[in-house]
Amino acid sequence: MTGRPGPYQRQQSGPGDRFPGLDVLGQARHWDSVTAGLVAARLSPPSGLAFFTPAEAACAGVLLNLLTGQEDNQEISVLHMIDARLAAGETDGWRYRDMPEDAQAWRDTLAYLDQDADRRCGTTFADAPEDDQLALIQAVQDLAAKDWHELNAAHVWSLWTRYACTALYAHPLAWDEIGFSGPAYPRGYKNIGVDKLEPYEVRDARPSGDPIREGT
Amino acid sequence: MPGVRTRNESAWLLPNDGSRTDHRLRDGMRRFADTDELDLVIVGCGAGGSVLLQRLARAGWRVAALDAGPFWDPDTDWVSDEAGSHRLYWTEPRVISGTDPVPMGSNNSGRGVGGSMVHYAGYTPRFHPSDFATRTRDGVGADWPLSYPELRPYYEQLEQELPVAGERWPWGDPHGYPHRPHPVSGNGEIFLRGARKLGIEARVGPVAITNGRFGNRPHCIYRGFCLQGCKVNAKASPLITHIPDALAHGAEVRADAMVTRIAIDSGTGRALGVHYVRDGRERFQRAAMVAVAGYSIETPRLLLNSACSRFPDGLCNEFDQVGRYLMVQGAPQTAGRFDAEVRMYKAPPPEVSSEAFYETDPARDFQRGFSIQTVSPLPITWAEHVAAQGHWGGALREYMSDYVHWACLGALCEFLPRPGNRVTLAGEKDQHGLPVAEFSYSQGDNDKAQAKAAQAVMEDILRAAGADEVITIQRYAHLVGGARMAADERSGVVDQSCRSFAVPNLYITDGSVLPTQGAANPALTIMAVAARAAGQLAAGARSGSAS
């Protein structure tokens, strides 16, 4: 399947649909205080932005919400988490030779998205109709390793999705959605093995609902 | 295990009150002055540097190790969280290039005392005897200037010091382990089930995770966050396995000290000490001998950045060997989907291995081989697997919601050393004004054939275990080479004792000296090579510093 992009689709089910009642944050009293403090801080991001300019933030906000399936419900503030990361210079510790350092790469690629939107719709990316926004993003993915504004599109896609996925799945609401139990220190796990659950874990309500199988 | 404590008391020097760091030991640590001429200054406090430090402190040497990162306290510095573990990785700028560039950071680069063993999974297999002579046996790679039997005693010592848990090991040089195998979780169960159905031998272990109390280190609690730093003190890293004993024997660990250059006497050609930056101030530590243990990117970078009038192309680089033959293992990961709940995040990711495909198989169309191990990605890493299939937006969220149903295996393929896979200096500068490393990497045909075969075996195992769907992500693991050990200066940087050919009192004691990488995780071998070099130094009574 590698290399064959999945078609864009709107999320079919709401958070909590598969693991009804799972509340990872409700277990925070069992976590060490350093971890609990860190996770709690993600629930109330700062109101302002430290890295993106207002124009960049408008573009990045839409891009990130679409990449993370949050067009209908923006409860996880991926934009703010990435803004804080870029302001602090928290890169992954490497860049492709044909890409600028991450902070500059974000600024450049957001500007290119606005240029693409202007050419297609005569608007900024943020002001373009959603179908056009989706098409513009899909066009970058479809280029694979070909050039996009003189950058390797696969390297741009890697930058966007790495930052977006790291922010999204750092959030406890996303853990509820996938059945993950979150931090586990100092408690650890007592019931390990196939189909073995801790008392506070919630069994999948749709165990045969394999989206991969449906797609093949 | 009588005897371990008399050789290395680290586990007994840690506190037994539920906290993880002996602050009194650190507060009372010996501190040398920059103007003291140390017997040895070590650059880097990871697998290689820490073992060297502990061994030579025990031998009575005046020795200090400088590390660019912090002196970690697992209680206050580490978290049970993926994104929050960012500071464990070396994230200073690096440039990657070549036809198959290798991402750095969280996957293969450590920071601070303990090095990348702070966030390695915990697998500690030995290399096979064949790894030391692949050129002679298989016509590929390189022969080491030392053989497996010369390293075996150090493997045995270190397996006790870490200590390592696992079943009796049937591959390579068959051997047992000091701690019994851990119970396996859902992911390990799936691997064992699939392997049994196909008649592939698999074993539980070998992992450097305590199974039972060891000194004041407690039993593993199966929390699953091995790659985020072990808050329990159950998983071994030099921070808890060698540094405490080193401090108790008079060594200094100088954290947050970034070494920028090795100083060379232009007349004698000998090393004089190291320039370093601490608290924004440039300083110089004198030493009769220097050992570099910065791992496969920073060690070559430091040698190249230490160019001087006598060594204008970089230290030890007269024959253009520095930075070359840098290796990474091909590490495709294949996941399988089960209607049952695997919940692979529960229990340590390192559980079960197979080395049944490690050696050259004449029936296959490639030389050397691969091993297969359980890996158990946490959500952010699992999202990489799903995104690599091309999914984004709502589709990504849907597929991710299936997380608890997936089991995941990883391969380590012995990609071969190539001279063009190397570190050079980039035009870009870091915060200290020093050129950053550029790592260029390209695969060969043998490498690609290995990765393809490894993926097929993992798919077979998962399907045999009952998976209805499999997905694979292509990636790399580990780093070794870049300043390799060789018979002479035209084919390597150091000799079999880790002493550089070019500078008689300069040693390299980390993974960069390995001439081949096997299909094994490198941590134990890096430690064993450093322990052997330490033994030779101690026996030679500082002979490297004699004029």
**Per-residue pLDDT reduced to its tens digit, A67-87:** 999 988 889 999 999 999 999
pLDDT (mean) for A106-115:
98
Q: Which of B369, B448, B381 is nearest to B412 (CA)?
A: B369
- HSE-CB at B461 with a 13 A cutoff on CA atoms is 34
Q: How crowded is residue A211: how many other Cβ atoms within 10 Å of its Cβ? A: 20
DSSP-H helix ranges across A68-171: 78-87, 102-121, 130-142, 153-168
Average pLDDT over residues A102-124: 98
Read off the tokens for B180.
Answer: 């019994």
In angstroms, the Cα distances linking B25 to B10, B15, B75, B161, B432 are 11, 10, 16, 19, 31
Residue given tokens 């009150």 in the structure block? B17
Query: Does B224 sit within 8 Å of A169, measured CB to CB?
Result: no
Instruction: Report pLDDT for A216.
Output: 44
Find chain B residues with C-beta within 8 A of A39's C-beta.
81, 84
- CA-nearest residue of chain B to A211? B399
B130, B137 contact by CB (below 8 A): yes
CB-CB contact of B161 with B530 (8 Å): no
Number of domains in chain A: 1
**Residue B480 is encoded by which pair of tokens?**
């070794």
Domain spans of chain B, in order of start: 4-545
Interchain proximity B90–A32, CB inside 8 Å: no
Mutate to test the interface with A, among B107, B343, B439 (most CBs of A within 10 A): B343
User: How many other CB atoms are there within 10 angstroms of residue B99's CB atom?
Assistant: 8
Whether B404 sits inside 8 A of A178 (CB atoms) is yes
A191 in a domain, yes or no?
Answer: no
Location of structure tokens 């430690």 = B527
pLDDT (tens digit, 0 to 9) for every residue of chain B, 547 residues total? 458 999 999 999 999 999 999 999 999 999 999 999 999 999 999 999 999 999 999 999 999 999 999 999 999 999 999 999 999 999 999 999 999 999 998 888 999 999 999 999 999 999 999 999 999 999 999 999 999 999 999 999 999 999 999 999 999 999 999 999 999 999 999 999 999 999 999 999 999 999 999 999 999 999 999 999 999 999 999 999 999 999 999 999 999 999 999 999 999 999 999 999 999 999 999 999 999 999 999 999 999 999 999 999 999 999 999 999 999 999 999 999 999 999 999 999 999 999 999 999 999 999 999 999 999 999 999 999 999 999 999 999 999 999 999 999 999 999 999 999 999 999 999 999 999 999 999 999 999 999 999 999 999 999 999 999 999 999 999 999 999 999 999 999 999 999 999 999 999 999 999 999 999 999 999 999 999 999 999 998 544 443 3
What's residue A214's pLDDT? 52
Q: Kindly give, in sequence order, each residue whose CB lies less than 8 Å from that of residue B114, ignoring residues fewer than 6 positions away.
A: B45, B46, B50, B72, B237, B238, B239, B240, B243
In CATH, the number for domain B4-545 is 3.50.50.60
Whether A132 maps to a domain, the answer reads yes
Which amino acid belongs to residue A9? Q
User: DSSP letters of B210-259?
Assistant: -SS-BTTBPPP---S-GGG--TTS-B--HHHHTHHHHHHTT-EEE-S-EE
Q: Which of A71, A170, A187 sits opposite B82 (nearest CB)?
A: A170
A8 has a pLDDT exceeding 70:
no
Q: Which residue is closest to A68 within chain B, CA to CA? A: B393
Distance from CA of B143 to the nearest CA of A (A): 32
Is B396's CB within 8 Å of A35's CB?
no
- The Cα of A54 is separated from the nearest Cα of chain B by a number of Å equal to 24
Task: Write down the pLDDT at residue B349.
Answer: 93
Tokens 């297969």 sit at which residue? B372
CB proximity list for B540: less than 8 A, separation 6 or greater: none
Binary contact (B106, A97; C-beta < 8 A): no
| pTM for the structure as a whole | 0.96
Smallest CA-to-CA distance from B89 within B132, B125, B46, B123 is with: B46
Confidence of residue A14 (pLDDT cuts 50, 70, 90): low
Return the closest-CA partner of residue B295 out of B107, B126, B54. B107
Question: What DSSP element (H or E) covers B271?
Answer: strand B271-278
User: Minimal Cα–Cα distance from A122 to chain B, Å?
Assistant: 25
CA distance B160 to chain A (A): 25
Secondary element (H or E) of residue B186: helix B186-198
B224 with B346: CB under 8 angstroms?
Answer: yes
- The one-letter amino acid at B267: G
Buried b (16+ CB within 10 A) or exposed e, B102-126: bbbbbbbbbbbbbbbbbbbbbbbbb
For residues A182-189, give the mean pLDDT: 95
Buried b (16+ CB within 10 A) or exposed e, B289-321: bbbbbbbbbbbbbbbbbbbeeebeebbbbebeb
**In a domain? residue A137:** yes
Cα Dmax for chain A: 58
**DSSP code of residue B492:** -
Is the N-terminal amide bond of B206 cis, ω within 30° of 0? yes
* Chain B residues in contact with A22 (beta carbon < 8 A): none
Q: Which residues from chain B sit within 8 angstroms of residue A95, using beta carbons?
A: 93-96
Nearest residue to A176 (alpha-carbon basis) of A196, A154, A195, A204: A204
Q: Which of A166, A194, A203 sits opposite B189 (nearest CB)?
A: A194
Q: A47 vs chain B: nearest CA distance in angstroms?
A: 21
Question: What pLDDT does A7 receive?
Answer: 52
Read off the amino acid at residue B222.
Y
**What CA–CA distance (Å, rounded) separates B453 from A24?**
40
A-B C-beta contacts closer than 8 Å: 262
Question: From the candidates B396, B406, B431, B438, which should be mutated to test the interface with A, based on the most A CB atoms within 10 A?
Answer: B396
Owning domain of residue A162: 33-41+49-180
CA atoms within 13 A on the CB side of B320: 3
Output the CA–CA distances (angstroms, integers) from residue B39 to A145, B8, B59, in the order listed: 52, 21, 11
Asked if the structure places residue A8 within a domain, the reply is: no
Of the pLDDT bands very low, low, confident and very high (cuts 50, 70, 90), residue A121 is: very high
Radius of gyration in angstroms for the set of CA atoms belonging to chain A, rounded to a whole number: 19
ipTM metric:
0.95
**Nearest partner of A4 among A168, A155, A212, judged by Cα:** A212
Say which of A11, A185, A194 has its CB closest to residue B394: A11
Please give the torsion angle defined by the CA atoms of residues B373, B463, B344 and B81, in that order, rounded to the nearest 10 degrees: 70
B-chain CB neighbours of A187 within 8 Å are 221, 223
Greatest C-alpha distance within chain B: 71
CB contact under 8 A, B101 and A96: yes
Which two three-digit tokens encode residue B486? 């060789």
CA-to-CA separations, B410 to A32, B23, B248, B267, in angstroms, rounded: 31, 38, 39, 51
Residue of A nearest to B472 (CA): A2
Average pLDDT of the residues in A126-144 = 97
pLDDT at A12: 61
Residue A1 clears pLDDT 60, i.e. is over it: no
